[in-house]
Structures are given as C-alpha cells and as structure tokens.
Amino acid sequence: MAEKLNILVVEDDDALRDALQITLEAAGHGVAGVDGGPAALETLRRRTFNMVVSDLRMSPMDGLVLLGEIRSRHPGLPVLLMTAFGDVDKAVAAMRGGACDFMLKPFEPKALIEQIARYATPPAPAAGVVAVDARTRATLLLAARVARTDATVLLTGESGVGKEVFARYIHDQSARAKGAFVAINCAAIPDTLLEATLFGYEKGAFTGAQTTQAGKFEQANGGTLLLDEISEMPLGLQAKLLRVLQEREVERVGGKKPVSLDIRILATSNRDMAGEVRAGRFREDLFYRLNVFPLEISPLRERPDDIVPLARKALAQMAATARRTAGFAAAAEARLLAYTWPGNVRELENVVQRALILEPGDLIEADGLPLAFPSAAAPEVAEGSSGATPVVPDFVASPVAAGAPANMKMLERQHIQEVLASVGGSRKKAVAILGISERTLRYKLNQYRAEGFISESEEE
C-alpha cells in the first residue's frame, strides 16, 4: 500500500472539493478541504501537509496568489494546480512561479493519485548532507522534488556553501542514480582545454591528441553532468554548449559524426547570474536554458543550526582517518557558532582539520580553533556558565541584524586581508585557508582595489 500522506485540497466548488477528498481518502491519504486561499493559509499555519492541491481560478484569492504566499511561508511544500483549458497560460506562469505541476480539468482520479505519489512523497534520508537548520531542510526538500524530474537545475550560492553536495544529492535521488555522476570545474581547466575536455576529441584533432578521447558529456551519458562554476566559461564556448543542450548531441573536436546524449544537466555558480548576463559576460539564452529550476543554497551564517553538526561530522571523519578520537569542548562549539564563516562550509572544514592537527589530545578547546574574528576579540564564555552561551560583540554574533549586508562585506574583506597578511601575501596559501578558488580571490582583490580599500602594492 502507498505511504499515507497529508493533502490539503483548496477548491471553492463544494461538489468538486468533496469528490477530490473522497478520491484521495480512498487512496489511503489524510485529506483536509478548504474553500479558498485565506482558509488554506490559516490551515497551513496550524497543520503540516505533504502537498497542496489547489484550483487556479478562485475568488477573492486566486491560485497564483495562493501559490506565492505558500512559496514565501512554506518554501518546500509542493503545490499542484488544477485549471480549465482556457487558463493554461496562467498555469504555465504558475510553473515558473514554483508550482510542481498543473492538471487540466477534467482528469481521471488515477492521474491525480500518480501526481500525488510523484511530488508529495517525503524525500529519502540525505546521506552525506547535514540538514538540521530549517532553511537547509527546506532547500533539501526542493532538491528532492526536482530530483524526481529531469529538469535542468542551476544551483547558486557563495563559494564553499556545498553546492556540489546538493547536486550529488539530486543525482542520488533521481531515476539516474545508477548512472554516472560526472563533475567538471569550468574555472579549474584552462580555456584552451575546456572544449576538448567537455566534448572530447578525435585522434589527430590537435597536437598531442594521440588517441580518441570521449568528453565529459559522453562520460555522463545515462547519468548526470555537473558543470561547476559555469559562470567562468568563456563566451565562445557558451555558444557551443547552448547548441549541445538544445540538440542533445555532441560533436568531438576534430570529429564529424554527432554523438546522441541522454543526460541530466546541473550547473553551479557563486555569482549573480542575472548580473553576469546584464554585464555581457554570460549569454542570456544559455542562462535561461540552465535556469529551468533555480536552487539557491544559503550561506552558512544564515543557517546557524547546521554549524555545530557540520563541524562534528567533519571532525569525526577526519579523526577516523587519523585513527584517533576527538570532540569539541562546549566553549569551542560556542566559538564556532559566534564566527561568521565568510568561506562557508569549506572554511569550516579547513578550520576543523587544522584544529585536529594542532590538538594532540581528544578534546578541542576554544583556543585550539584557528579563527580570526575581524575587528573584535574572540568570544569568551561567561563566567560561571556551562560554556554553551558565548559573549561576543553584537555584530559578530548576529550577522543578520539590521545593516548586516554591509557589515558582512566589510568583515569578509578584512578577513581576506588578514589571512593574506598572515601568509606573507601568498595567494595559494590564502585560498587553502579561506576555502575559495584562486580565481575568486583574484576577483575579490580586484574589486577591493577598484573600491580603494587596497593599493596596487598591497594587492601584489
């Protein structure tokens, strides 16, 4: 028997609403029915549901408005819209606004049950993904929903937030899970080699091509291809990539016969992609081809409940590799919580690794964490406390307070400058500590120089 799910039906036609409830209850699901948007929002405030099935044309709040309210209040909750034939354009707009799907009236009960099973089933446990914070859980739920489709997903977020972790989760939860998961970092490969790496090449296609080589697209056939840091791809190659995505076939460098593809495309970027399009650095048509389902991964400072679990997981894995046991003192965990993590999860893992190397014992204390608190002293534990509550300056402990974006940008700049100073200006050493790519560091330094925060001599 199918898993019992809780479904909210929103329909202002009493007879149709009753029919839908009877259909879903007969399938073994728990169902609540309401006659409009305001009642639906009130019910969602009081109860938890796996899915909302709503009519599109209602008064005074129609299905599009209700969808927007649900997206803002319950971002991970799937919404299935029902519509008449004449409202298809609105239904398509609703899909773009975040609806999981729409159904044209009239429809067979079996079709509704299949849609419920497809979109409302709770996601499988996220192996390897830490999702304690409510914001992360909502993002993971969205990832699980889109994993059941073949839609192209564009994952965005700051460097080091774990975009590839979520991309791999999407692959693992998809129908392509048994196929290959192939990832390529578009920023790590020289522009002259990127085309051959992506598309492959025939023997003799260029100097050094002594054998025929399949590219990443062919290697991912039947599975998933992740284009990491897609915003770093040269404009000329973007045009060729667009054609591959449109035609679903690839032609090797020096080849004449196209190879058909059956792959799912995921892409990541740590930049504002719409801004890159406006600046002329990224093709608009390719952006829309990739941005079918946008998924933003929040920075670590905005999901604080994940910080300590992530640190504990990283410590356990690293300690096991080193064949030792280790844990954090309460004061050390308080210090982790007080830090703003400009380098996100990657920086957290680097800090844990350095602390484990430097600490010979089984307990990592607060002083053993190599954290630089910009323009403020490191947090201290209040005297007589259990060590669970850190005493820190407000702007460090509360990065989401009023004015936080400016503060965070300032803190990030100061942190990068301090790290560079501590390693004698070595960019290679700095990126290892910061957990960002060398290209990202170069971009940020150029930005700081243009804004007048560093001089030419300092940047060198």
CATH number of the domain bearing residue 357: 1.10.8.60
Last residue of a domain, one of 119, 154, 183: 119
Q: Is there a single domain that holds both residue 394 and residue 306?
A: yes
Give the pLDDT of residue 238. Answer: 94
In a domain? residue 125: no
Domain that holds residue 282: 134-298
The Cα–Cα gap between 205 and 421 comes to 46
In a domain? residue 10: yes
* 99-119 residue pLDDT tens: 778 888 888 999 999 888 888
From 7, 293, 10, 43, select the one nearest 122 (Cα to Cα): 7
From 113, 443, 162, select the one nearest 296 (Cα to Cα): 162
Give the pLDDT of residue 77. Answer: 84
Give the pLDDT of residue 313. Answer: 94
Give the pLDDT of residue 339. Answer: 93
Q: Are 101 and 83 in contact (CB under 8 A)?
A: no
Q: Is there a single domain that holds both residue 358 and residue 439?
A: yes
- Reported as half-sphere exposure (CB side, CA atoms, 13 A), residue 164 has a value of 15
In a domain? residue 258: yes
Q: Is there a single domain that holds both residue 165 and residue 238?
A: yes
In a domain? residue 328: yes
Q: Is there a single domain that holds both residue 264 and residue 181?
A: yes
The Cα–Cα gap between 63 and 52 comes to 11
Q: Is there a single domain that holds both residue 181 and residue 209?
A: yes
The Cα–Cα gap between 407 and 404 comes to 5
In a domain? residue 447: yes
Q: Is there a single domain that holds both residue 272 and residue 338?
A: no
What's the number of domains the chain is made of? 3
Residue 426 backbone dihedrals phi, psi, to 5 degrees: -75, 115
Q: Is there a single domain that holds both residue 335 and residue 237?
A: no
Give the pLDDT of residue 383. Answer: 40
From 255, 260, 186, 194, select the one nearest 222 (Cα to Cα): 260
| CA distances in angstroms from 458 to 221, 443, 453, listed in the order given | 47, 15, 10
In a domain? residue 127: no
From 292, 274, 285, 266, select the one nearest 155 (Cα to Cα): 266
Using 50 as the pLDDT threshold, list the residues of the chain that sit under it. 1, 375-407, 459-460
Q: Is there a single domain that holds both residue 433 and residue 338?
A: yes
Q: Is there a single domain that holds both residue 251 and residue 193?
A: yes
Q: Is there a single domain that holds both residue 104 and residue 151?
A: no
Q: Are 352 and 318 in contact (CB under 8 A)?
A: yes
Q: Are 198 and 241 in contact (CB under 8 A)?
A: yes
Q: Is there a single domain that holds both residue 312 and residue 434?
A: yes
Measured at the CA of 155, the angle between CA 152 and CA 157, to 5 degrees, comes to 165
CATH number assigned to the domain comprising residue 34: 3.40.50.2300
In a domain? residue 201: yes
Q: Is there a single domain that holds both residue 272 and residue 311?
A: no
In a domain? residue 128: no
What secondary structure does DSSP assign to 166-233, as a single string?
HHHHHHHTSTTTTS-EEEEETTTS-HHHHHHHHHEE-TTSSTT--S-EE-HHHHTTTSEEEEETGGGS
From 130, 128, 67, 143, select the one nearest 102 (Cα to Cα): 67
| CA distances in angstroms from 80 to 27, 123, 133, listed in the order given | 17, 17, 26
Give the pLDDT of residue 384. Answer: 40
Last residue of a domain, one of 298, 327, 361: 298
CATH number assigned to the domain comprising residue 174: 3.40.50.300
Last residue of a domain, one of 267, 298, 329: 298
The Cα–Cα gap between 221 and 225 comes to 8
Give the pLDDT of residue 430. Answer: 81
